[in-house]
Structure 1
């Protein structure tokens, strides 16, 4: 095969990689992108997008199921619903396929050359790609590693048979009667709650004293309440030990040191993700690492000149939109623009029921940094739009400096609050004060009014609570 030479080589066509390649192409940079799977990476194919499709289907099914007895407050009565998960998954796959085609089209429009296959490094400027038609050598002036991450596996619960990762969970042909979830983080609870709504009996095993430990207890309280309403058993301070001999139960050591069995048709292991750094022959370029992650500076440069790394392979937060922002920045740097990483906040969303959004600093973090702070919190129970959506359980909270009212952090929990993330991020990036948010006219009736009311509350004159 003929050798390819280019200015920029991107390894991995996930959110970070394909955004980097598209932006570079827009700027006239001769760019090649290598991907061994489908364009879009984990997020589009087996992560963010398909999981939200499944979560939406579960929500719709649960709503209809609650109407079956005609006793719901909306006055709607229907026949008991049934769920064909095969059709649901086919619908989800259709969305993913359309987005795959969209990404491929955008790369082509930006005049980016795509090579399908697995890349391995020969040196800092050269990779070899195993394609269906043979070996392809690519030489580049600059290389971006955007290889992403994969589900972390437990040695005593290896994937296979009844033990599944989030990838397999999103492709099941039928709802398991009994589902055990190992790990009470956002992935485990998002999928666990979805399957509970579809009729599975779900148990969550978490080794820490509480689930969603990265969020403060006040923020997660509405989620814990909903877990109970869905009949999900939550075992805290408990450790999964392996499968039973018959493979039909999860063995668990409870918080008090006793042994227990959780009957399970499927065991979903969601104990985090690990960077995909193996198989690329990274030892050929000897990059500096931070644990399992590639070390980068504020321009995503690695320890080797001309090699950049972006996204999950560089560490937390493992978020698609962080990878996208890094990819765009690196493309502009390679094109000769002056860019640096100067982000005040990267919003994070947990798509549980209700949803969680955080941007910036938590109250404790803000207090440690700024000393005296002001906190304004507005409950959705006092928000008309939330009430009409039966989503009044939750709140918006703003954390600001006490001296100059600079907003340091914003958090929310409630139905549909993921759509408020853009407003939260913009306020922090623009250096908003409490007065800026309080003085901005928010449309009525919307849940976004809770944002304005929280600012008013912090200033001491909330109007609707």
Structure 2
């Protein structure tokens, strides 16, 4: 590709092809830049290949299995319902393949040059990309770093054998009879509930005082209740100490209230967070990009690092490690390079957890709004009062809207229940566009739909609900 050590010239180099990187590359190309994207693994990154998408495919399969098992409550009786987990995995791989192929097609369609390999900075304006066959150099005008993150590995629990990260858990060839999970955050909660629906006995060891720390307790209580219904053992305020594994199982020792306990399971899943991919051979230290003590890259309101023509987005910068945040930041960075006045505004990033029931949140919680000095008005409407929820046999949950009492301006919302991940978008749109409770309440929502829950919550906050009694 390149003779000798001469450099090719490119407008923008994007390092990483996850939901931040590939979006940045496409947007930059749309804005007239010549773009090279580099990734050592698959197009679509961790999210499409080893995270968001494969986990949701398995979770969907588990929901289907549970729904079939419980169909008798709706008058449908089935016998000998079985799971062929090899075919479940085949379904998952099919979903992933379609999406990664789609990303590759979008990059090619936008005339983005694609290089499968690793990248290393030579200096502030040059990068070498290399694989087993070639190692060309590129001189760039701008660069967007989007290298993502990887599971944190704890020294007492090194990955391997029967100690798994989320990556290995998604690739298990069989359904484990028992599973120990260290970390009851969103990854641990989602995957453990998925396995539990397939019949796995789950034990969760969580250091905080509840599962899903970070979400409001009134949301997570319903998730904990559902976990216990499926036979979970949940230890909170617990500290995992050590693990001993054989070729058949793994035993974990942990402490609760100073008392040592132990539990044995087929596998141990460790989900205690993710580490930014800013180390290794990328060479950020060589060019002097400023980072925090946690290895995150410091950026301004357009994603610009301490080197003005080098940008960083996604899991490697401060803030929530969310795919949709990375995609949002990607567009801002690409547009900033093109001279557009785009800047990040994080007031309206939804957080979603695909547990059972689903949890979602956007903007301020009631407590956060009060801390900010708002006189708060709250509307809360239960799923059990919604016709569509009942017809779906999913009456658990509620929608909660937080607003400014004086102006009615929507400040935030929290939802727990079926399709909470989709319903939260209406609340996010309301916040983004400075809408009021009246704006939501006066919007005609189709009937019977789950979307009516948001309208009903707004009406409760306004004090004139039709399908609830104000006390």
**What interval of TM-score do these two structures reach, taking the shorter chain for normalisation?**
over 0.9
Instruction: Give, in whole Å, the separation in 1 of the partners of 2:460 and 2:406.
Output: 16
TM-score normalized by structure 1? Answer: 0.97
Find the counterpart in structure 1 of residue 196 from structure 2.
196
The structural deviation recorded for 1:286 is: 1.3
Find the counterpart in structure 1 of residue 292 from structure 2.
290
Within the alignment, does 1:158 sit opposite 2:158 as a pair? yes
The structural deviation recorded for 1:252 is: 2.8
Deviations 1:110-153 (A, max 9, x none): 11001110111111111111223121211100010000000111
* Conservation of the 8 A alpha-carbon contact between 2:303 and 2:329: yes
TM-score normalized by structure 2? Answer: 0.96
What is the 5 A alignment of 1:116-127? Answer: 116-127=116-127
Give the root-mean-square deviation of aligned CA atoms. 1.2
Deviations 1:64-96 (A, max 9, x none): 2334xxxx3211111122212111111111111
* Conservation of the 8 A alpha-carbon contact between 1:5 and 1:140: yes
Instruction: Give, in whole Å, the separation in 2 of the partners of 1:55 and 1:445.
Output: 26
Query: After the TM superposition, which segments of 4 or more aligned residues of structure 1 sit over 3 Å from their partners?
Result: none
The structural deviation recorded for 1:231 is: 0.8
Find the counterpart in structure 2 of residue 52 from structure 1.
56
Deviates more, 1:14-23 or 1:285-294: 285-294
Q: Secondary structure at the match of 1:43?
A: helix
Q: Secondary structure at the match of 1:293?
A: coil
The structural deviation recorded for 1:373 is: 0.5
Within the alignment, does 1:227 sit opposite 2:245 as a pair? no
* Conservation of the 8 A alpha-carbon contact between 1:65 and 1:80: no
Instruction: Give, in whole Å, the separation in 1 of the partners of 2:301 and 2:179.
Output: 42
The structural deviation recorded for 1:351 is: 0.3
Instruction: Give, in whole Å, the separation in 1 of the partners of 2:143 and 2:311.
Output: 6
Deviates more, 1:410-419 or 1:130-139: 130-139
Q: Secondary structure at the match of 1:7?
A: strand
Find the counterpart in structure 1 of residue 421 from structure 2.
418
Instruction: Give, in whole Å, the separation in 1 of the partners of 2:421 and 2:184.
Output: 20
**Aligned pair count?**
461
Quickly say closer, same or farther: Cα 1:218–1:99, change in 2 above 3 A. Answer: same
What is the 5 A alignment of 1:177-196? Answer: 177-196=177-196
Which of the residues 20, 33, 37 maps onto 2:41? Answer: 37
Instruction: Give, in whole Å, the separation in 2 of the partners of 1:320 and 1:253.
Output: 33
Deviations 1:173-205 (A, max 9, x none): 100111001100000000000000001111111
Find the counterpart in structure 2 of residue 356 from structure 1.
359
Find the counterpart in structure 2 of residue 216 from structure 1.
216
What is the 5 A alignment of 1:230-379? Answer: 230-244=230-244, 246=246, 248-279=249-280, 280-291=282-293, 292-379=295-382
* Conservation of the 8 A alpha-carbon contact between 1:85 and 1:172: no
Deviations 1:352-386 (A, max 9, x none): 00001101011110001133100100001111111
* Conservation of the 8 A alpha-carbon contact between 1:235 and 1:254: no
Instruction: Give, in whole Å, the separation in 2 of the partners of 1:464 and 1:431.
Output: 26
Instruction: Give, in whole Å, the separation in 1 of the partners of 2:245 and 2:174.
Output: 24
Q: Secondary structure at the match of 1:135?
A: coil
What is the 5 A alignment of 1:69-84? Answer: 72-84=72-84
